[in-house]
Structure 1
Amino acid sequence: MFDRQGNLKTTLGTPGEKGSSLDPLQFDQVGDVAFNEAGEMFVVDGDGGMNNRLLKLSTDHKLLWSVGGEGSAPGQFSVPHCVDVDRYGQVWVADRKNKRIQVFHGDSGAYIGELALDEDVYTARFSADKSHILALQMKVRRILVIAAPKEPGNLGDCEVIDSMQMKEGTQPHLLSVSQSTGAIYVGDIGANTCYKFLPL
Protein backbone atom coordinates (compact mmCIF):
# COMPACT_ATOMS: atom_id res chain seq x y z
CA MET A 1 0.00 0.00 0.00
CA PHE A 2 1.11 3.53 -0.77
CA ASP A 3 0.43 6.95 0.69
CA ARG A 4 -0.94 9.85 -1.37
CA GLN A 5 2.58 10.84 -2.40
CA GLY A 6 3.28 7.37 -3.84
CA ASN A 7 5.55 6.20 -1.03
CA LEU A 8 5.36 2.49 -0.16
CA LYS A 9 3.98 2.07 3.37
CA THR A 10 2.99 -1.57 3.76
CA THR A 11 3.45 -4.85 1.89
CA LEU A 12 1.12 -7.78 2.60
CA GLY A 13 2.38 -11.22 1.65
CA THR A 14 5.78 -12.07 0.19
CA PRO A 15 6.44 -10.51 -3.24
CA GLY A 16 7.05 -13.05 -5.98
CA GLU A 17 5.59 -15.96 -4.01
CA LYS A 18 2.10 -17.41 -4.25
CA GLY A 19 0.23 -19.24 -1.56
CA SER A 20 -2.93 -19.79 0.44
CA SER A 21 -1.61 -19.28 3.95
CA LEU A 22 -3.70 -17.17 6.34
CA ASP A 23 -0.97 -16.97 9.00
CA PRO A 24 1.20 -15.43 7.76
CA LEU A 25 -0.94 -13.97 4.98
CA GLN A 26 0.00 -15.00 1.47
CA PHE A 27 -1.92 -14.33 -1.74
CA ASP A 28 -2.08 -15.50 -5.33
CA GLN A 29 -3.39 -13.14 -8.03
CA VAL A 30 -5.36 -10.62 -5.97
CA GLY A 31 -8.16 -9.15 -8.07
CA ASP A 32 -9.29 -6.12 -6.08
CA VAL A 33 -9.50 -4.47 -2.66
CA ALA A 34 -12.13 -2.26 -1.01
CA PHE A 35 -12.50 -0.45 2.32
CA ASN A 36 -15.45 0.20 4.63
CA GLU A 37 -16.00 3.44 6.53
CA ALA A 38 -13.96 2.14 9.48
CA GLY A 39 -10.93 1.62 7.22
CA GLU A 40 -11.10 -2.18 7.30
CA MET A 41 -9.98 -3.88 4.09
CA PHE A 42 -11.70 -6.50 1.94
CA VAL A 43 -9.56 -8.49 -0.51
CA VAL A 44 -10.67 -10.79 -3.34
CA ASP A 45 -7.86 -13.27 -3.94
CA GLY A 46 -8.63 -15.34 -7.01
CA ASP A 47 -8.15 -13.71 -10.41
CA GLY A 48 -7.16 -17.18 -11.61
CA GLY A 49 -4.53 -19.11 -9.67
CA MET A 50 -4.94 -21.29 -6.61
CA ASN A 51 -7.30 -19.23 -4.44
CA ASN A 52 -10.98 -18.32 -4.72
CA ARG A 53 -11.66 -16.36 -1.55
CA LEU A 54 -12.72 -13.12 0.13
CA LEU A 55 -10.77 -11.90 3.15
CA LYS A 56 -11.41 -9.14 5.68
CA LEU A 57 -8.44 -7.43 7.31
CA SER A 58 -8.41 -5.03 10.25
CA THR A 59 -6.98 -1.52 10.02
CA ASP A 60 -3.63 -2.95 11.19
CA HIS A 61 -3.90 -5.68 8.50
CA LYS A 62 -4.74 -8.64 10.73
CA LEU A 63 -7.05 -11.31 9.33
CA LEU A 64 -10.60 -11.01 10.70
CA TRP A 65 -12.29 -13.63 8.52
CA SER A 66 -12.04 -15.48 5.23
CA VAL A 67 -14.76 -17.10 3.13
CA GLY A 68 -14.71 -18.95 -0.16
CA GLY A 69 -13.37 -21.98 -1.92
CA GLU A 70 -13.67 -22.99 -5.55
CA GLY A 71 -17.18 -23.86 -6.67
CA SER A 72 -20.63 -22.51 -7.44
CA ALA A 73 -22.41 -23.04 -4.12
CA PRO A 74 -23.35 -20.02 -1.98
CA GLY A 75 -20.17 -18.52 -0.56
CA GLN A 76 -17.91 -20.23 -3.10
CA PHE A 77 -16.25 -18.52 -6.05
CA SER A 78 -14.98 -19.08 -9.56
CA VAL A 79 -12.65 -16.12 -10.18
CA PRO A 80 -13.77 -13.44 -7.68
CA HIS A 81 -12.74 -10.39 -9.68
CA CYS A 82 -13.99 -7.26 -7.89
CA VAL A 83 -15.17 -6.22 -4.42
CA ASP A 84 -17.06 -3.18 -3.12
CA VAL A 85 -18.95 -2.11 0.02
CA ASP A 86 -22.47 -0.66 0.09
CA ARG A 87 -23.98 1.99 2.35
CA TYR A 88 -24.86 -0.67 4.97
CA GLY A 89 -21.38 -2.16 5.14
CA GLN A 90 -22.37 -5.24 3.12
CA VAL A 91 -19.67 -6.65 0.86
CA TRP A 92 -20.40 -7.27 -2.84
CA VAL A 93 -18.19 -9.58 -4.92
CA ALA A 94 -18.23 -9.96 -8.71
CA ASP A 95 -18.02 -13.76 -8.97
CA ARG A 96 -16.94 -13.69 -12.57
CA LYS A 97 -17.21 -17.20 -14.00
CA ASN A 98 -20.27 -18.04 -11.90
CA LYS A 99 -22.07 -15.14 -13.62
CA ARG A 100 -23.27 -13.59 -10.37
CA ILE A 101 -22.67 -10.99 -7.69
CA GLN A 102 -22.53 -12.40 -4.16
CA VAL A 103 -23.27 -10.35 -1.05
CA PHE A 104 -21.81 -10.93 2.42
CA HIS A 105 -22.27 -9.45 5.88
CA GLY A 106 -19.41 -7.06 6.49
CA ASP A 107 -18.97 -7.95 10.16
CA SER A 108 -19.17 -11.73 10.02
CA GLY A 109 -18.69 -12.75 6.39
CA ALA A 110 -22.04 -14.56 6.46
CA TYR A 111 -23.61 -15.15 3.05
CA ILE A 112 -26.61 -12.86 2.42
CA GLY A 113 -27.59 -13.63 -1.17
CA GLU A 114 -26.70 -13.21 -4.81
CA LEU A 115 -27.73 -11.57 -8.05
CA ALA A 116 -27.64 -14.01 -10.97
CA LEU A 117 -26.68 -12.50 -14.32
CA ASP A 118 -26.67 -13.79 -17.89
CA GLU A 119 -22.95 -13.32 -18.58
CA ASP A 120 -19.62 -13.28 -16.74
CA VAL A 121 -19.45 -10.22 -14.48
CA TYR A 122 -16.02 -8.61 -14.23
CA THR A 123 -16.81 -5.61 -12.02
CA ALA A 124 -19.49 -4.76 -9.47
CA ARG A 125 -18.98 -1.17 -8.34
CA PHE A 126 -21.29 1.29 -6.60
CA SER A 127 -22.10 4.74 -7.87
CA ALA A 128 -20.68 7.54 -5.73
CA ASP A 129 -23.98 7.99 -3.86
CA LYS A 130 -24.37 4.19 -3.42
CA SER A 131 -27.77 4.26 -5.14
CA HIS A 132 -26.79 1.99 -8.05
CA ILE A 133 -24.56 -0.97 -8.80
CA LEU A 134 -22.59 -0.90 -12.05
CA ALA A 135 -21.98 -4.45 -13.30
CA LEU A 136 -19.49 -4.70 -16.15
CA GLN A 137 -19.73 -7.67 -18.52
CA MET A 138 -16.71 -7.75 -20.81
CA LYS A 139 -17.76 -10.50 -23.25
CA VAL A 140 -20.87 -8.57 -24.34
CA ARG A 141 -19.26 -5.10 -23.85
CA ARG A 142 -22.03 -3.99 -21.52
CA ILE A 143 -22.45 -2.18 -18.21
CA LEU A 144 -25.66 -2.97 -16.35
CA VAL A 145 -27.14 -0.31 -14.05
CA ILE A 146 -28.77 -2.07 -11.11
CA ALA A 147 -30.81 -0.46 -8.33
CA ALA A 148 -29.07 -0.85 -4.96
CA PRO A 149 -30.97 -2.32 -2.00
CA LYS A 150 -33.05 0.08 0.08
CA GLU A 151 -32.39 -1.78 3.31
CA PRO A 152 -29.73 -4.23 4.53
CA GLY A 153 -30.25 -7.90 3.79
CA ASN A 154 -32.91 -7.30 1.15
CA LEU A 155 -31.81 -7.92 -2.43
CA GLY A 156 -35.34 -7.93 -3.82
CA ASP A 157 -35.04 -4.31 -4.98
CA CYS A 158 -31.91 -5.04 -7.02
CA GLU A 159 -33.29 -5.05 -10.53
CA VAL A 160 -31.61 -3.97 -13.76
CA ILE A 161 -32.97 -0.53 -14.65
CA ASP A 162 -30.68 0.45 -17.53
CA SER A 163 -27.56 -0.54 -19.46
CA MET A 164 -24.71 1.04 -21.37
CA GLN A 165 -23.47 -0.72 -24.51
CA MET A 166 -19.86 -0.16 -25.54
CA LYS A 167 -18.77 -0.22 -29.16
CA GLU A 168 -17.73 -3.27 -31.15
CA GLY A 169 -14.13 -4.33 -30.61
CA THR A 170 -13.75 -2.99 -27.07
CA GLN A 171 -12.82 -5.25 -24.15
CA PRO A 172 -13.99 -3.39 -21.02
CA HIS A 173 -12.30 -5.17 -18.14
CA LEU A 174 -12.58 -3.04 -14.99
CA LEU A 175 -14.65 -0.08 -13.88
CA SER A 176 -14.12 2.55 -11.21
CA VAL A 177 -16.15 5.50 -9.94
CA SER A 178 -14.82 8.86 -8.79
CA GLN A 179 -16.02 9.46 -5.24
CA SER A 180 -15.75 13.23 -5.69
CA THR A 181 -17.42 13.74 -9.09
CA GLY A 182 -19.32 10.48 -9.69
CA ALA A 183 -17.64 10.06 -13.09
CA ILE A 184 -17.30 6.49 -14.35
CA TYR A 185 -13.96 5.20 -15.67
CA VAL A 186 -13.71 2.01 -17.73
CA GLY A 187 -10.45 0.26 -18.55
CA ASP A 188 -10.39 -1.32 -22.03
CA ILE A 189 -7.68 -4.00 -22.27
CA GLY A 190 -8.28 -4.44 -26.00
CA ALA A 191 -7.18 -0.92 -26.93
CA ASN A 192 -5.17 -0.21 -23.74
CA THR A 193 -7.47 2.75 -23.20
CA CYS A 194 -9.44 4.27 -20.34
CA TYR A 195 -12.85 5.81 -21.06
CA LYS A 196 -14.55 8.42 -18.91
CA PHE A 197 -18.34 8.61 -18.69
CA LEU A 198 -20.51 11.29 -17.10
CA PRO A 199 -22.04 10.51 -13.70
CA LEU A 200 -25.37 8.68 -13.57
Structure 2
Amino acid sequence: MKTLFKLVLASVSIITIFSSCSNINTEAIETENSFDSLKSTNFKVDAFWPKQLPNSWILGEVPGLSIDKHDHIWILQRPNSLDGRELGASSGEKDCCAPAPSVIEFDTEGNLVNAWNIFESEGSADPDQLWAGKEHGIYIDADDFVWIADAKGHTVLKLTKEGKQLLQIGKSGQTNGSNDTLLLGGPADVAVDIEANEVFVADGYVNRRVIVFDSETGAYKRHWGAYGEAPHDNELPLRSAGDEPIHSFRTAVHAVTISNEGNVYVADRSNNRIQVFKKDGTFVRETFIANDGGSGSIWDIEFSRDPAQSYVYVPDGANMKVWVLDHKTLEVINSFGFGGRNSGQFGWVHSLVVDSKGTIYTSEVNPGKRVQKFLPVSEDELSN
Protein backbone atom coordinates (compact mmCIF):
# COMPACT_ATOMS: atom_id res chain seq x y z
CA MET A 1 0.00 0.00 0.00
CA LYS A 2 2.86 2.35 0.89
CA THR A 3 4.59 1.39 -2.36
CA LEU A 4 1.48 2.18 -4.38
CA PHE A 5 1.11 5.55 -2.63
CA LYS A 6 4.74 6.39 -3.42
CA LEU A 7 4.22 5.50 -7.08
CA VAL A 8 1.12 7.69 -7.34
CA LEU A 9 2.86 10.56 -5.58
CA ALA A 10 5.88 10.25 -7.86
CA SER A 11 3.63 10.22 -10.94
CA VAL A 12 1.80 13.35 -9.79
CA SER A 13 5.15 15.09 -9.15
CA ILE A 14 6.45 14.19 -12.60
CA ILE A 15 3.24 15.42 -14.24
CA THR A 16 3.39 18.66 -12.23
CA ILE A 17 7.03 19.26 -13.19
CA PHE A 18 6.33 18.46 -16.85
CA SER A 19 3.28 20.72 -16.86
CA SER A 20 5.26 23.59 -15.33
CA CYS A 21 8.06 23.14 -17.83
CA SER A 22 5.54 23.06 -20.65
CA ASN A 23 3.98 26.33 -19.48
CA ILE A 24 7.39 28.00 -19.27
CA ASN A 25 8.37 26.85 -22.72
CA THR A 26 5.03 27.89 -24.21
CA GLU A 27 5.32 31.37 -22.73
CA ALA A 28 8.84 31.70 -24.07
CA ILE A 29 7.73 30.62 -27.52
CA GLU A 30 4.77 33.01 -27.43
CA THR A 31 7.03 35.89 -26.40
CA GLU A 32 9.56 35.04 -29.06
CA ASN A 33 6.95 34.82 -31.80
CA SER A 34 4.71 37.70 -30.71
CA PHE A 35 3.99 40.33 -33.37
CA ASP A 36 3.82 44.00 -32.47
CA SER A 37 1.85 45.89 -35.14
CA LEU A 38 3.27 49.19 -33.88
CA LYS A 39 6.79 48.07 -34.85
CA SER A 40 6.15 46.42 -38.18
CA THR A 41 8.53 46.46 -41.12
CA ASN A 42 6.17 44.49 -43.40
CA PHE A 43 2.82 45.60 -44.80
CA LYS A 44 0.07 44.41 -47.13
CA VAL A 45 -2.43 46.59 -48.95
CA ASP A 46 -6.11 46.91 -48.07
CA ALA A 47 -7.44 47.20 -51.61
CA PHE A 48 -10.90 48.39 -50.52
CA TRP A 49 -9.87 51.57 -48.68
CA PRO A 50 -11.24 54.21 -48.87
CA LYS A 51 -14.88 53.65 -49.73
CA GLN A 52 -16.38 55.14 -52.89
CA LEU A 53 -16.84 58.89 -52.66
CA PRO A 54 -20.30 60.47 -53.01
CA ASN A 55 -21.50 62.95 -55.64
CA SER A 56 -19.50 61.31 -58.46
CA TRP A 57 -16.37 62.76 -56.86
CA ILE A 58 -12.94 61.68 -58.05
CA LEU A 59 -9.52 62.48 -56.63
CA GLY A 60 -6.82 64.32 -58.49
CA GLU A 61 -3.19 64.36 -57.42
CA VAL A 62 -2.92 63.85 -53.65
CA PRO A 63 0.23 65.57 -52.36
CA GLY A 64 -0.84 66.09 -48.73
CA LEU A 65 -1.63 63.58 -46.00
CA SER A 66 -2.02 63.94 -42.22
CA ILE A 67 -3.59 62.09 -39.30
CA ASP A 68 -5.25 63.67 -36.27
CA LYS A 69 -5.49 62.54 -32.64
CA HIS A 70 -8.82 60.82 -33.41
CA ASP A 71 -7.14 58.55 -35.98
CA HIS A 72 -8.86 60.39 -38.82
CA ILE A 73 -6.92 60.58 -42.07
CA TRP A 74 -6.88 63.95 -43.83
CA ILE A 75 -5.89 64.39 -47.45
CA LEU A 76 -5.10 67.48 -49.49
CA GLN A 77 -5.75 66.88 -53.18
CA ARG A 78 -5.58 68.96 -56.36
CA PRO A 79 -8.93 69.25 -58.16
CA ASN A 80 -7.22 71.22 -60.93
CA SER A 81 -5.02 68.26 -61.81
CA LEU A 82 -8.00 66.43 -63.33
CA ASP A 83 -8.30 66.60 -67.10
CA GLY A 84 -11.42 66.91 -69.26
CA ARG A 85 -11.74 63.15 -69.72
CA GLU A 86 -12.03 62.73 -65.95
CA LEU A 87 -14.60 65.49 -65.48
CA GLY A 88 -17.54 64.27 -67.57
CA ALA A 89 -20.07 64.67 -64.78
CA SER A 90 -19.15 68.33 -64.34
CA SER A 91 -20.43 69.12 -67.81
CA GLY A 92 -23.44 66.84 -67.50
CA GLU A 93 -22.26 64.70 -70.41
CA LYS A 94 -21.36 61.59 -68.36
CA ASP A 95 -22.06 59.97 -65.01
CA CYS A 96 -18.40 60.26 -64.03
CA CYS A 97 -16.83 62.31 -62.69
CA ALA A 98 -16.70 65.56 -60.71
CA PRO A 99 -13.72 66.96 -58.77
CA ALA A 100 -13.74 66.17 -55.06
CA PRO A 101 -13.10 69.04 -52.64
CA SER A 102 -9.45 69.77 -51.96
CA VAL A 103 -9.60 68.84 -48.23
CA ILE A 104 -11.15 65.49 -47.27
CA GLU A 105 -11.32 63.76 -43.88
CA PHE A 106 -11.72 59.96 -43.63
CA ASP A 107 -11.99 57.57 -40.70
CA THR A 108 -9.88 54.41 -40.56
CA GLU A 109 -12.69 52.40 -42.18
CA GLY A 110 -12.61 54.64 -45.23
CA ASN A 111 -15.83 56.53 -44.54
CA LEU A 112 -15.92 60.19 -45.58
CA VAL A 113 -16.28 62.39 -42.48
CA ASN A 114 -15.91 65.92 -43.87
CA ALA A 115 -14.82 67.72 -47.04
CA TRP A 116 -14.30 71.33 -48.12
CA ASN A 117 -12.39 73.45 -50.63
CA ILE A 118 -9.52 75.69 -49.64
CA PHE A 119 -8.49 77.11 -53.02
CA GLU A 120 -10.30 77.98 -56.23
CA SER A 121 -10.86 74.68 -58.03
CA GLU A 122 -12.26 75.62 -61.42
CA GLY A 123 -10.70 74.57 -64.70
CA SER A 124 -8.53 71.57 -65.51
CA ALA A 125 -4.89 70.59 -65.72
CA ASP A 126 -2.32 72.76 -67.49
CA PRO A 127 0.33 70.43 -68.95
CA ASP A 128 2.94 73.22 -68.85
CA GLN A 129 2.77 73.53 -65.05
CA LEU A 130 5.00 71.59 -62.67
CA TRP A 131 1.77 70.71 -60.95
CA ALA A 132 -1.78 72.00 -61.18
CA GLY A 133 -3.22 73.84 -58.20
CA LYS A 134 -1.72 75.40 -55.10
CA GLU A 135 -2.21 72.45 -52.74
CA HIS A 136 0.91 70.77 -51.36
CA GLY A 137 1.10 69.94 -47.64
CA ILE A 138 -1.44 69.43 -44.85
CA TYR A 139 -0.91 68.97 -41.10
CA ILE A 140 -3.45 68.53 -38.28
CA ASP A 141 -2.00 69.66 -34.96
CA ALA A 142 -2.77 68.34 -31.48
CA ASP A 143 -5.41 71.04 -30.98
CA ASP A 144 -7.23 69.97 -34.18
CA PHE A 145 -6.21 72.98 -36.23
CA VAL A 146 -5.55 72.40 -39.92
CA TRP A 147 -2.37 73.77 -41.51
CA ILE A 148 -2.04 74.05 -45.30
CA ALA A 149 1.19 74.69 -47.21
CA ASP A 150 0.51 76.60 -50.45
CA ALA A 151 3.70 76.04 -52.41
CA LYS A 152 2.62 78.10 -55.41
CA GLY A 153 1.19 81.02 -53.47
CA HIS A 154 4.09 81.12 -50.97
CA THR A 155 1.84 81.01 -47.91
CA VAL A 156 1.01 78.78 -44.95
CA LEU A 157 -2.57 78.87 -43.66
CA LYS A 158 -3.99 77.89 -40.26
CA LEU A 159 -7.67 76.93 -40.30
CA THR A 160 -10.36 75.31 -38.19
CA LYS A 161 -11.49 71.76 -38.97
CA GLU A 162 -14.40 73.31 -40.86
CA GLY A 163 -12.12 75.40 -43.08
CA LYS A 164 -12.34 78.84 -41.44
CA GLN A 165 -9.04 80.69 -41.83
CA LEU A 166 -7.40 81.86 -38.61
CA LEU A 167 -3.87 82.82 -39.65
CA GLN A 168 -1.78 83.38 -42.78
CA ILE A 169 2.02 83.31 -42.80
CA GLY A 170 3.66 84.89 -45.83
CA LYS A 171 2.06 87.02 -48.53
CA SER A 172 0.34 85.51 -51.51
CA GLY A 173 2.49 85.58 -54.65
CA GLN A 174 5.46 87.25 -52.95
CA THR A 175 8.88 85.81 -52.14
CA ASN A 176 12.25 87.37 -51.37
CA GLY A 177 14.91 84.72 -50.85
CA SER A 178 15.99 82.25 -48.21
CA ASN A 179 16.86 84.80 -45.53
CA ASP A 180 13.73 86.93 -45.58
CA THR A 181 11.90 86.68 -42.24
CA LEU A 182 8.42 87.71 -43.44
CA LEU A 183 7.98 86.12 -46.87
CA LEU A 184 8.05 82.43 -47.76
CA GLY A 185 9.28 80.74 -50.93
CA GLY A 186 7.40 77.61 -51.96
CA PRO A 187 6.52 76.10 -48.57
CA ALA A 188 6.00 72.35 -48.93
CA ASP A 189 5.15 71.05 -45.45
CA VAL A 190 4.68 72.03 -41.80
CA ALA A 191 4.96 70.47 -38.34
CA VAL A 192 3.68 72.01 -35.11
CA ASP A 193 5.21 71.90 -31.64
CA ILE A 194 2.13 72.52 -29.49
CA GLU A 195 4.00 72.89 -26.19
CA ALA A 196 6.29 75.58 -27.60
CA ASN A 197 3.57 77.19 -29.77
CA GLU A 198 5.84 76.92 -32.80
CA VAL A 199 5.23 75.91 -36.39
CA PHE A 200 8.15 74.54 -38.42
CA VAL A 201 7.94 75.11 -42.18
CA ALA A 202 9.83 73.21 -44.88
CA ASP A 203 10.35 76.22 -47.15
CA GLY A 204 10.86 74.51 -49.76
CA TYR A 205 10.33 74.81 -53.53
CA VAL A 206 11.92 78.24 -54.00
CA ASN A 207 13.81 78.85 -50.75
CA ARG A 208 16.24 76.38 -49.16
CA ARG A 209 15.52 76.38 -45.47
CA VAL A 210 13.49 75.44 -42.43
CA ILE A 211 11.80 78.46 -40.86
CA VAL A 212 10.00 78.65 -37.52
CA PHE A 213 7.11 80.93 -36.52
CA ASP A 214 4.89 81.43 -33.49
CA SER A 215 1.89 79.19 -34.19
CA GLU A 216 -0.54 81.64 -32.54
CA THR A 217 0.62 84.98 -33.93
CA GLY A 218 2.73 84.07 -36.96
CA ALA A 219 5.70 86.03 -35.57
CA TYR A 220 9.11 85.00 -36.93
CA LYS A 221 11.35 82.97 -34.58
CA ARG A 222 14.38 81.58 -36.47
CA HIS A 223 15.50 79.76 -39.62
CA TRP A 224 18.37 77.64 -40.90
CA GLY A 225 19.70 75.83 -43.93
CA ALA A 226 21.59 72.55 -44.40
CA TYR A 227 23.85 71.58 -41.47
CA GLY A 228 22.25 74.37 -39.43
CA GLU A 229 24.10 77.01 -41.43
CA ALA A 230 22.66 80.20 -42.91
CA PRO A 231 20.93 79.35 -46.21
CA HIS A 232 21.86 80.94 -49.52
CA ASP A 233 20.33 81.17 -53.00
CA ASN A 234 23.52 80.86 -55.04
CA GLU A 235 23.64 78.54 -58.03
CA LEU A 236 24.37 74.97 -56.97
CA PRO A 237 26.59 72.46 -58.78
CA LEU A 238 24.98 69.59 -60.63
CA ARG A 239 24.62 66.53 -58.43
CA SER A 240 26.64 63.43 -59.30
CA ALA A 241 27.08 60.12 -57.52
CA GLY A 242 30.18 60.12 -55.32
CA ASP A 243 30.26 63.88 -54.81
CA GLU A 244 30.89 65.28 -51.36
CA PRO A 245 27.64 66.41 -49.69
CA ILE A 246 26.93 70.07 -50.39
CA HIS A 247 26.25 72.50 -47.57
CA SER A 248 22.93 73.59 -48.98
CA PHE A 249 19.46 72.14 -49.30
CA ARG A 250 18.28 71.69 -52.88
CA THR A 251 14.82 72.10 -54.30
CA ALA A 252 12.80 70.88 -52.66
CA VAL A 253 13.01 71.00 -48.89
CA HIS A 254 10.04 68.68 -49.08
CA ALA A 255 8.97 67.61 -45.59
CA VAL A 256 9.53 68.29 -41.91
CA THR A 257 8.51 66.24 -38.87
CA ILE A 258 9.31 66.24 -35.15
CA SER A 259 10.19 63.00 -33.34
CA ASN A 260 9.20 62.00 -29.80
CA GLU A 261 12.80 62.70 -28.76
CA GLY A 262 12.29 66.32 -29.82
CA ASN A 263 14.45 66.35 -32.94
CA VAL A 264 13.44 67.89 -36.26
CA TYR A 265 13.74 65.60 -39.31
CA VAL A 266 13.97 67.32 -42.70
CA ALA A 267 13.52 65.78 -46.16
CA ASP A 268 16.20 67.25 -48.41
CA ARG A 269 14.58 65.51 -51.35
CA SER A 270 16.86 66.23 -54.30
CA ASN A 271 19.97 65.56 -52.23
CA ASN A 272 18.59 62.12 -51.30
CA ARG A 273 19.15 62.82 -47.64
CA ILE A 274 17.47 63.22 -44.30
CA GLN A 275 19.04 65.82 -42.02
CA VAL A 276 18.27 65.81 -38.29
CA PHE A 277 18.38 68.92 -36.10
CA LYS A 278 17.59 70.04 -32.61
CA LYS A 279 14.67 72.44 -32.46
CA ASP A 280 17.05 75.40 -32.28
CA GLY A 281 18.58 74.40 -35.64
CA THR A 282 21.69 72.67 -34.31
CA PHE A 283 22.72 69.91 -36.73
CA VAL A 284 22.66 66.37 -35.27
CA ARG A 285 23.20 63.84 -38.08
CA GLU A 286 22.22 62.84 -41.60
CA THR A 287 21.66 59.82 -43.81
CA PHE A 288 21.46 59.23 -47.55
CA ILE A 289 19.10 56.88 -49.39
CA ALA A 290 19.14 55.62 -52.99
CA ASN A 291 21.14 57.98 -55.18
CA ASP A 292 18.48 58.14 -57.89
CA GLY A 293 20.10 60.91 -59.92
CA GLY A 294 16.73 62.53 -60.62
CA SER A 295 13.96 64.06 -58.54
CA GLY A 296 15.29 62.71 -55.24
CA SER A 297 14.44 59.85 -52.91
CA ILE A 298 13.24 61.52 -49.68
CA TRP A 299 9.64 62.64 -50.20
CA ASP A 300 8.28 62.42 -46.66
CA ILE A 301 9.33 61.19 -43.20
CA GLU A 302 7.19 59.40 -40.59
CA PHE A 303 7.83 57.18 -37.58
CA SER A 304 6.41 53.91 -36.27
CA ARG A 305 3.93 54.42 -33.43
CA ASP A 306 5.65 52.48 -30.65
CA PRO A 307 6.94 54.81 -27.89
CA ALA A 308 10.56 54.49 -29.06
CA GLN A 309 9.57 55.14 -32.69
CA SER A 310 11.80 52.22 -33.66
CA TYR A 311 11.42 52.67 -37.40
CA VAL A 312 11.34 55.51 -39.90
CA TYR A 313 9.15 55.24 -43.02
CA VAL A 314 10.27 57.18 -46.10
CA PRO A 315 8.13 57.30 -49.27
CA ASP A 316 10.28 57.58 -52.41
CA GLY A 317 8.38 58.76 -55.47
CA ALA A 318 11.41 58.48 -57.73
CA ASN A 319 11.95 54.78 -57.00
CA MET A 320 8.23 54.17 -56.34
CA LYS A 321 8.54 52.42 -52.98
CA VAL A 322 8.57 53.06 -49.24
CA TRP A 323 11.87 52.62 -47.40
CA VAL A 324 11.97 51.32 -43.81
CA LEU A 325 14.87 52.63 -41.71
CA ASP A 326 16.14 51.67 -38.28
CA HIS A 327 15.60 54.82 -36.25
CA LYS A 328 18.77 54.42 -34.16
CA THR A 329 21.14 53.99 -37.09
CA LEU A 330 19.07 55.50 -39.93
CA GLU A 331 20.09 52.53 -42.04
CA VAL A 332 17.69 50.94 -44.54
CA ILE A 333 16.43 47.57 -43.28
CA ASN A 334 13.50 46.93 -45.61
CA SER A 335 11.19 48.43 -48.23
CA PHE A 336 7.76 47.72 -49.65
CA GLY A 337 5.92 48.57 -52.84
CA PHE A 338 7.01 48.67 -56.45
CA GLY A 339 6.22 50.80 -59.48
CA GLY A 340 2.86 50.01 -61.07
CA ARG A 341 -0.86 50.67 -61.09
CA ASN A 342 -2.16 47.67 -59.14
CA SER A 343 -3.21 47.88 -55.51
CA GLY A 344 -0.15 48.01 -53.32
CA GLN A 345 2.03 49.39 -56.10
CA PHE A 346 3.04 53.03 -56.49
CA GLY A 347 3.42 55.83 -58.95
CA TRP A 348 4.90 58.99 -57.42
CA VAL A 349 4.23 58.10 -53.79
CA HIS A 350 4.30 61.51 -52.14
CA SER A 351 3.24 61.40 -48.48
CA LEU A 352 2.75 58.89 -45.67
CA VAL A 353 1.13 58.76 -42.22
CA VAL A 354 0.76 56.06 -39.54
CA ASP A 355 -2.31 55.56 -37.32
CA SER A 356 -2.37 54.45 -33.67
CA LYS A 357 -2.52 50.76 -34.65
CA GLY A 358 0.53 50.93 -36.89
CA THR A 359 -1.43 51.03 -40.16
CA ILE A 360 0.21 53.06 -42.93
CA TYR A 361 -1.61 55.35 -45.38
CA THR A 362 0.08 56.70 -48.52
CA SER A 363 -0.83 59.30 -51.11
CA GLU A 364 0.25 59.67 -54.74
CA VAL A 365 0.43 62.48 -57.24
CA ASN A 366 0.78 61.58 -60.94
CA PRO A 367 0.21 59.02 -62.24
CA GLY A 368 -1.56 57.36 -59.30
CA LYS A 369 -3.87 60.14 -58.05
CA ARG A 370 -4.94 58.03 -55.09
CA VAL A 371 -4.56 57.11 -51.43
CA GLN A 372 -3.84 53.60 -50.16
CA LYS A 373 -3.96 51.76 -46.84
CA PHE A 374 -1.35 49.20 -45.76
CA LEU A 375 -1.91 46.85 -42.81
CA PRO A 376 1.05 45.81 -40.64
CA VAL A 377 1.77 42.08 -40.92
CA SER A 378 4.33 39.59 -39.65
CA GLU A 379 6.79 37.95 -42.01
CA ASP A 380 4.77 34.72 -41.82
CA GLU A 381 1.55 36.52 -42.82
CA LEU A 382 3.35 38.28 -45.66
CA SER A 383 4.51 34.96 -47.17
CA ASN A 384 1.06 33.33 -46.95
Q: CA shift at 1:103, angstroms?
A: 0.5
2:198 to 40, 49, 66: 40
Distance 1:64 1:16, change over 3 A: same
* RMSD between superposed Cα atoms in Å: 2.1
Greater Rg, structure 1 or structure 2?
A: 2
Q: Distance in 2 between matches of 1:141 and 1:59?
A: 34
Flag the structure with higher strand content: 1
Flag the structure with higher helix content: 2
Check conservation: 1:128, 1:177, Cα contact below 8 A.
Answer: no
Distance 1:175 1:161, change over 3 A: same
- 1:142 maps onto 2:142 in alignment: no
Q: Distance in 2 between matches of 1:199 and 1:90?
A: 26
Matches within 5 A, 1:44-193: 44-47=202-205, 49=206, 51-60=207-216, 61-68=218-225, 69=231, 72-74=245-247, 76-78=248-250, 79-106=252-279, 108-119=280-291, 120=296, 121-129=298-306, 130-149=309-328, 157-168=329-340, 170-189=346-365, 190-193=367-370
Q: Distance in 2 between matches of 1:26 and 1:182?
A: 37
Q: CA shift at 1:142, angstroms?
A: 1.3
Q: Secondary structure at the match of 2:188?
A: strand
Matching residue's letter, 1:146: L
Q: Distance in 1 between matches of 2:186 and 2:220?
A: 18
Q: Secondary structure at the match of 1:123?
A: coil
Q: CA shift at 1:8, angstroms?
A: 0.9
Q: Distance in 1 between matches of 2:282 and 2:246?
A: 14
Q: CA shift at 1:43, angstroms?
A: 0.4
Q: CA shift at 1:59, angstroms?
A: 3.2
Q: Distance in 2 between matches of 1:127 and 1:92?
A: 14
Tell me the TM-score normalized by structure 2.
Answer: 0.46
Distance 1:163 1:178, change over 3 A: closer
More displaced stretch, 120-129 vs 166-175 = 166-175
The ranges of structure 1 where at least 4 consecutive aligned residues each deviate by more than 4 angstroms after the TM superposition are none
Q: Secondary structure at the match of 1:146?
A: strand
Q: CA shift at 1:18, angstroms?
A: 2.6
Higher relative contact order (CA 8 A, sep 6+): 2
Q: CA shift at 1:37, angstroms?
A: 4.6
Q: CA shift at 1:93, angstroms?
A: 0.6
Q: Distance in 2 between matches of 1:18 and 1:183?
A: 38
Check conservation: 2:351, 2:364, Cα contact below 8 A.
Answer: no
Check conservation: 2:321, 2:349, Cα contact below 8 A.
Answer: no
Distance 1:88 1:10, change over 3 A: same
Q: Distance in 1 between matches of 2:200 and 2:258?
A: 9
Give the percent of matched residue pairs that are identical in Structure 1 and Structure 2: 27
Check conservation: 1:27, 1:45, Cα contact below 8 A.
Answer: yes
Q: Distance in 2 between matches of 1:92 and 1:178?
A: 16
Check conservation: 1:126, 1:132, Cα contact below 8 A.
Answer: yes
